[in-house]
Amino acid sequence: MLNPGITQRVVSRMDDGCPPRSIHDELAIEEPLEIRVAGDPVAVTMRSPGEDARLAVGFLFSEGIIASIEDVGRVFHCGRPGTEGYGNAIDVLPAPGHNLDIERVSASRRGTLTTSACGVCGRQDVADLVARCSVLPPGPEIPAELLIKSIDGMRRIQPTFTHTGGVHAAAAFDRDGRTLVCCEDVGRHNAVDKAVGALLFDRLVGASAGPVLLAVSGRASFEIVQKAAVAKIPVVASVSAASSLAVDLASDVGITLAGFVRRKSFNLYAHPERVAQ
């Protein structure tokens, strides 16, 4: 099965002491996706093609436009297959009797470009994002080993990264360490939106069998913690560092935030009481 997020280009390979040679290299695809609600454009994000329905639903959930998957009636790409641009615009229709409040997306954000590096670009402030976060209750307690295994487990199921080295990943795990979903994208925030969207489609957000840990590649930014809080995921583990605003938000909303998770060590930035030593 072809991976929709991978393409090939001819590149000049330079090796020490050898003349350049032409090779075919696999690259991660980056293309725009316009997200619409009932035909009204809400945002444009630079993403890896594939899992667009998950991405759109996860994004709308994090923004507060939908409260659950029950608000969603239909998700579909706009246009006709084979036409130019097909697959780069996706429309989310509300379920019968449901109204989706796109005014929750600030005027400064709507219709603007969200790059693969920044999911909150175009905002005047982050107050509307923080307002979506409720304080999570204490628990559950998890073994330190689960933090380490989550990062290792995520790395083993990243086919696009294996071929290209050019994407991020986000994976959700239950309290027994089982992988619920793992998604890849050129943008960290998109990978998380895809994972949250998958959890919504599977009706696992807020469920007793739902996720207790979100593992992410790269650093843990404010937006990653915000999306975890909205999805009621109490633990976030990152391969790299956490930003100051991410630590502040995690402390305020009751999220255990771990960074620099390695095979034998990690940093706990907020709410270490969930991690059993």
What radius of gyration do the chain's Cα atoms show? 19
Sign of CA dihedral 226, 155, 69, 104: positive
Under DSSP, the state recorded for 72 is E
Is 18 a known active-site residue?
A: no
Phi, psi of 226 (to 5 degrees): -60, -45
What is the SS3 assignment for 189? helix
Helix, strand, coil shares of the chain, percent, nearest 5, are 30, 30, 45
For 235, phi then psi, to 5°, come to -130, 135
Q: Which residue has the tokens 């913690």?
A: 225
From 118, 121, 133, 183, active-site residue:
118
Within the chain, residue ranges assigned H as helices are: 52-63, 127-131, 144-156, 159-164, 188-201, 222-230, 244-253
Q: Which residues belong to the active site?
A: 118
